[in-house]
Amino acid sequence: MGTEIRVHQVYAGRVLQGSGALSLVPDEVGRLGAQRVLVIAAPSSAEAALDLAAALAERYAATFGRPVQHSPVEVTAEALALAGEVRADALVAIGGGSAIGLSKALAGRTGMPQVAVPTTYAGSEATPVLGETEGGAKTTRRDPALAPSTIVYDPDLTLSLPRGLTLTSALNALAHAVEALWDTRASAATRAYAVESADGILAALPVVLDHPSDIVARGRLQEAAWLAGACLAQAQMGLHHQLAHALGGTFGLPHAELHALLLAHVMRFNLVAAPDAAARLARLANGDPTLAVASLASMHDGPTTLRALGVARDALREVAERVAADPYPNPRPVTADAVEELLLAAW
């Protein structure tokens, strides 16, 4: 470590974790002093949202059940109108990154406190970052006021995750940890989170894929995803996230699948220039970490290439040039030719 000053900021002040933790949401809402809760629920969480509404009793105000990926501002406006109608004073988001993104978008506009109950491994609940879309253009902002103050991780809610989303979402989380490991400016706490996170994902994901209802392994995976989300909040993301943003934004691709198929390619490119990260990951993977991740990614029963996601081969050069023109901090220098080669390998 050099002499540079590093800042480590912690976001969610309370994190609850464990099977059945959903039942504690009403107490958590009470701690925030809230009287009228707007529940933001992914369609997949409709049933859990009904249970939650019943448990919130007189503190329940309404449910908004149609969050959309990348928080389009029109959807936010609709939910904001509902929040105003029911005089909501707090938000509980239950679902993946899309439900949590909508909650952040509302919190950013109203100052309402948030409890996040994640059901995927994307990690948004642990970050102060919000990506929104308006007229097809995506903007991202970062503000501590956007971060949920409480996170409730209940692995029971991940039992319904289909195999494909379990795999791709866990690799999305692993990408946060891997990028934190090769960020030379990451704090000691972030490095520790990243190691524990990558260890948890590499150990628990194969178990969960073989035994999807193993609640202990599901819990470990979720715990690892929390730490990965914290890495995303703390560390500088590099080429992997830049490619995911550039490709996802340009072609409207599914978030988790895109991350999952890119990760091994970016690791192959970057790890030669990040010996510490390479050594740590090799210890955790008990061998070549790039091969371990490629092998996990190949187990997906959906698209595993950019081509299968519908990206045209001749669109890759333009993406490569855009990325190389303004690269995110990355352990290995990023050139248009190198990025094009990487994208062709992922194609």
Residues near ligand NAD (CB under 6 A) are: 42-44, 69-70, 95-99, 101, 119-120, 122-124, 127, 129-131, 157-158, 160-161, 165, 169, 232, 255-256
Please, what is the minimum distance in Å from the beta carbon of residue 190 to ligand NAD?
15
CB 117 within 8 A of CB 22: yes
Residue 19: DSSP 8-state = T
CB nearer to ligand NAD: pick between 251 and 282: 251
Please, what is the minimum distance in Å from the beta carbon of residue 172 to ligand NAD?
6
Please, what is the minimum distance in Å from the beta carbon of residue 329 to ligand NAD?
17
Q: Is 338 exposed, middle or buried, given 0-12, 13-18 or 19+ CB atoms closer than 10 A?
A: middle
CB 168 within 8 A of CB 308: no
CB nearer to ligand NAD: pick between 221 and 285: 221
Please, what is the minimum distance in Å from the beta carbon of residue 89 to ligand NAD?
23
Q: Which amino acid appears at position 160 of this protein? A: S
Looking at beta carbons, which residue is closest to ligand NAD? 97
CB 149 within 8 A of CB 34: no
CB nearer to ligand NAD: pick between 129 and 319: 129
CB nearer to ligand NAD: pick between 212 and 329: 212
Q: How far is CA 117 from the centre of its chain?
A: 13
Is 21 in a helix, a strand, or coil? helix
Rounded to whole angstroms, the Cα distance separating 279 from 142 reads 32
**β-bridge mates for residue 138, sequence order:** 133
CB nearer to ligand NAD: pick between 35 and 250: 250
Measured CA to CA in angstroms, residue 134 lies from 66, 70, 85, 278, 332 at distances of: 17, 10, 24, 39, 33
Please, what is the minimum distance in Å from the beta carbon of residue 45 to ligand NAD?
7
CB nearer to ligand NAD: pick between 181 and 260: 260
Work out the angle between the directed axes of helices 275-285 and 188-210 (0-180°, nearest 10): 30
CB 228 within 8 A of CB 176: yes
Task: Please report which helix (H) or strand (E) contains residue 345, including its range.
Answer: helix 336-346
Please, what is the minimum distance in Å from the beta carbon of residue 191 to ligand NAD?
19
Please, what is the minimum distance in Å from the beta carbon of residue 153 to ligand NAD?
12
Please, what is the minimum distance in Å from the beta carbon of residue 280 to ligand NAD?
23
Nearest to 198 by CA among 118, 121, 285, 274: 285
CB nearer to ligand NAD: pick between 69 and 187: 69
CB 323 within 8 A of CB 339: yes
CB nearer to ligand NAD: pick between 88 and 258: 258
CB 89 within 8 A of CB 36: yes
